[in-house]
Amino acid sequence: MNKKGDSLTIFIQIGIAVMAFIALVNVLPTLMDEIETTRGGDNLDCDNSSISAGQRSACTGVDFSIFTFAMVGFGVVFAVLGGRFLFVRRTRE
- Helix H, strand E, coil C: the string for 22-86 is HHHHHHHHHHHHHHHHHHCCCCCCCCCCCCCHHHHHHHHHHHHHHHHHHHHHHHHHHHHHHHHHH
Average pLDDT over residues 19-44: 87
* Distance between CA atoms of residues 53 and 69, nearest Å: 24
* Distance between CA atoms of residues 36 and 31, nearest Å: 9
* Distance between CA atoms of residues 66 and 89, nearest Å: 34
Sketch the domain layout of the chain as residue ranges: 12-37+54-92
Res 87: pLDDT: 65
pLDDT tens-digit series, residues 33-66: 888 888 887 888 888 888 899 888 988 998 898 8
How does residue 1 score in pLDDT terms, banded at 50, 70 and 90? low
Res 85: pLDDT: 67
Report the chain's terminal Cα–Cα distance, integer Å. Answer: 14
**Across all residues in the chain, what is the average pLDDT?**
81
Task: Compare 90 and 37 and report the one with higher pLDDT.
Answer: 37
Res 41: pLDDT: 79
2 DSSP 8-state letter = -
